[in-house]
Amino acid sequence: MKIDILTLFPNMFTGFINESIIKRAINNNLVEINVHNIRDYSPFKNKQVDDYPFGGGPGMVLMCEPIFNAIEDLRRENTKVIMLTPSGEVFNQKIATKLSKFEHIILLCGHYEGFDERIKTIVDMEISIGDYILTGGEIPAMAITDTIVRLIPGVINNESLDSESFNDNLLDYPVYTRPEVFRDMKVPEVLLSGHHANIEKYRKEEQLRITKERRKDLLGSDNSE
């Protein structure tokens, strides 16, 4: 899989692609991640990428030409271009799974007051990571990239993926490690029993309990009983 990230602040991604699971995935040739400075595609000598909005208003707007130039340079037949914007579809695990199947993704990071509306004509998807405002699209790009990459076969073992939160629209069950008792707080006896069927039953019940308490909106008809 290949991910190209278009941003005005490429240095923000230095630590992100050089640490932990993302770095290992890159080193193992499971994913290729390239970060591109949108200013490199500006037709102007001063590398300008934004201008005042027609009709007036606060802030600056990202111009068409640099972004069209960038996407047209990077786009291939199998590419999906994703604009990161507060008005996009709210990102979730289902969307992450869908994106992880693509061969090539371009993530377009916004900034300032947003994109010239005409840029949307060369975009395949618009995604938001939540109902709040960030300074730019760089943090959403990292969050989406991280979520996608860990779903690529070979990055994380399948057993870990199968037991994670949001599988079957349920939050994860509680986990414990040594010691068995810490400050009078004991590990549930069932987890020490070695009885795998009982452990599985307990964990499923805990998933349902926690999801009902904290994210009842996740529960569909199959899990609402």
pLDDT of the residue at 161: 59
Question: Whats the size of the chain, residue-wise?
Answer: 225
Cis status of the peptide bond prior to 179, with omega within 30 of 0: yes
pLDDT tens series, the chain, 225 aa: 999 999 999 999 999 999 999 999 999 999 999 999 999 999 999 999 999 999 988 899 999 999 999 999 999 999 999 999 998 999 999 999 999 999 999 999 988 888 999 999 999 999 999 999 899 999 999 999 999 999 999 999 866 655 555 567 888 899 999 999 999 999 999 999 999 999 999 999 999 999 999 999 888 745 544
pLDDT of the residue at 160: 62
Strand pairing category for 32-37 and 61-62: unpaired
Q: How far apart are the first and last CA of the chain?
A: 40
Domains and CATH numbers, the chain: 2-149 (3.40.1280.10), 163-218 (1.10.1270.20)
pLDDT of the residue at 169: 81
pLDDT of the residue at 225: 46
With a CB cutoff of 8 Å and minimum separation 6, the contacts of 175 are none
Q: Are 127 and 95 in contact (CB under 8 A)?
A: yes
pLDDT of the residue at 165: 53
- What does pTM read for this prediction? 0.85
Q: Are 20 and 145 in contact (CB under 8 A)?
A: no
